[in-house]
Amino acid sequence: MGEPLLLPQNLPHPYYLEAIHQSLEVIQQQLLNEVKVKQEAMHLLVERMTNLENTIEKRDQRISELTAELELNRRMTEGNRQIVNKLLNDIDRLQQDIEWYKRTYESRSLLGTLKEKIFGTKKLI
């Protein structure tokens, strides 16, 4: 096989080269249009990618903010839980004090209380 020829050596018509030239111009125009369309598509894709990157960055920033807020709320909840436990213990101690006062001043008679104070007698178990 020999090398392919781009143009035949013997041209039968004088307009043959002109037709080839016009065909090449049409092909060139189509290629230029295709390149233009692809460049526009690439531009749109780059724009979308930039928008998506910005959206991802904002989302990541919001996640970081929410994580920090969640940690703060956890610490506050733990602090509140400790305060509630302390208050419950205080209430329990105060109820015990009230019960002691009731037993001491309401359940015992005045005479029994005075006798215990004067003689310091303790009941044996």
Tens-place pLDDT, residues 43-86: 999 999 999 999 999 999 999 999 999 999 999 999 999 999 99
Is residue 16 within 8 Å of 7, Cβ to Cβ? Answer: no
Most trustworthy range by pLDDT among 13-17, 28-32, 108-112, 117-121: 28-32
Bigger pLDDT: 112 or 80?
A: 80
Tokens of 62: 């919001």
pLDDT of the residue at 124: 46
Distance separating alpha carbons of residues 83 and 88, to the nearest angstrom: 9
pLDDT exceeds 70 at position 23: yes
pLDDT at 76: 97
For the chain, the average pLDDT equals 85
